[in-house]
Amino acid sequence: MTVGIYFATTTGKTEDIAERLHGMISNANTPKDLADVNDVSEFSDLDGIICGIPTWNTGADIERSGTAWDSLLDDIGGLNLKGKKVAIFGLGDSSTYTENFCDAMEELHSHFVKAGASMVGYVSKSDYTFEESKSVIGESFCGLPLDEDSESDMTDDRLAKWAIQLKAEMTSLNQK
Ligand SMILES: Cc1cc2nc3c(=O)[nH]c(=O)nc-3n(C[C@H](O)[C@H](O)[C@H](O)COP(=O)(O)O)c2cc1C
């Protein structure tokens, strides 16, 4: 049973988190940079997929991450990922970009839903201070938001809790 970790990044923070998460999961592949992935059909070979996406395109309706994820979204939506568990983490800044906090997670989420994936790893919005986010569904974020710009002191705790949550929700994942 294998879990793939994928990320895209502009200044390296999402890559750093992908590596920290990798250290918490014993059966995940080495994190892969989306910039090196030409064909997302490799997702079909995995039991679980964990995706990291930053938000850079402030206020945009589409292509919110400004990374390689943007051009692969339609390909992801066209896959058949029924039976696959998928979790998303997002990097953003809840202070400077408080009206668009981690917006890009939702765009990735909606394309994986289109592919039939089972989405896991939702996190309550009550643990965050922000004005608005497109990634809020009901009372939860559609993944784990992380803020290395304004709340980096909270990241270790948020990641550790999420790894425990994923172990329960993503049966193919073995936590270290
Ligand atoms: C020009 C610019 C625009 C940004 N826009 C947003 C935004 O709309 N929402 C948000 O939550 N964070 C925003 N951020 C913060 C980044 O998402 C954050 O720094 C993130 O950690 C970057 O991840 P990366 O290093 O993996 O690219 C923005 C940062 C910059 C410099």
Where exactly are the structural domains of the chain? Answer: 3-169
In the reported structure, the alpha carbon of residue 83 is separated from the centroid of ligand 1 by a whole-number distance in angstroms of 32
pLDDT per residue as tens digits for the range 20-47: 999 998 888 999 999 999 899 999 999 9
Beta strands in the chain (DSSP E): 3-7, 32-33, 48-54, 85-91, 118-120, 123-124, 136-137, 140-141, 144-146
What's the CA dihedral at 107, 111, 116, 121 to 10 degrees?
-30
| Best residue for ligand 1 mutational test, from 57, 61, 93, 158 (most atoms within 8 Å of Cβ) | 93
Residues near ligand 1 with C-beta < 6 Å? 9-14, 54-56, 58, 91-93, 97, 100-103, 148-149
Q: How far apart are the first and last CA of the chain?
A: 15
Probe ligand 1: pick from 10, 16, 17, 58, max atoms within 8 Å of CB?
58
Contact yes or no for 33/14 (Cβ under 8 A): no
The chain-wide mean pLDDT, for the chain, equals 95
pLDDT of residue 171: 74
Q: 165 CA distance to ligand 1 centroid (A)?
A: 25
d(CA 64, CA 69): 9
Q: Is 98 helix (H, G, I), strand (E, B) or coil?
A: coil
Q: Note the CATH architecture for domain 3-169.
A: 3-Layer(aba) Sandwich (3.40)
Section 73-84 average pLDDT: 96
Number of the ligand 1 atom closest to the C-alpha atom of 103:
9
Residue owning the nearest CA to atom 16 of ligand 1: 92
Contacts of 69 (CB under 8 A, 6+ apart): 8, 34, 51, 53, 104, 107, 108
Whether pLDDT at 9 is above 90: yes
Q: What is the pTM of this model?
A: 0.97
Report pLDDT for 27: 85
**CA 22 – ligand 1 centroid, Å:** 22
Q: Over 80: is that where the pLDDT of 1 sits?
A: no
Looking at residue 38, its pLDDT comes to 86
Phi and psi at residue 140, to the nearest 5°: -125, 155
Q: How far apart are CA 90 and CA 123, in angstroms?
A: 12
**Placement of tokens 């064909």 in the chain:** 39
Q: How confident is the model at residue 117 (pLDDT cuts 50, 70, 90)?
A: very high
Q: What percent of the chain has pLDDT over 90?
A: 90
Say what percent of the chain tops pLDDT 70.
97
Residue 176 has pLDDT above 90, yes or no: no
* Nearest alpha carbon to residue 68 among 15, 139, 136: 15
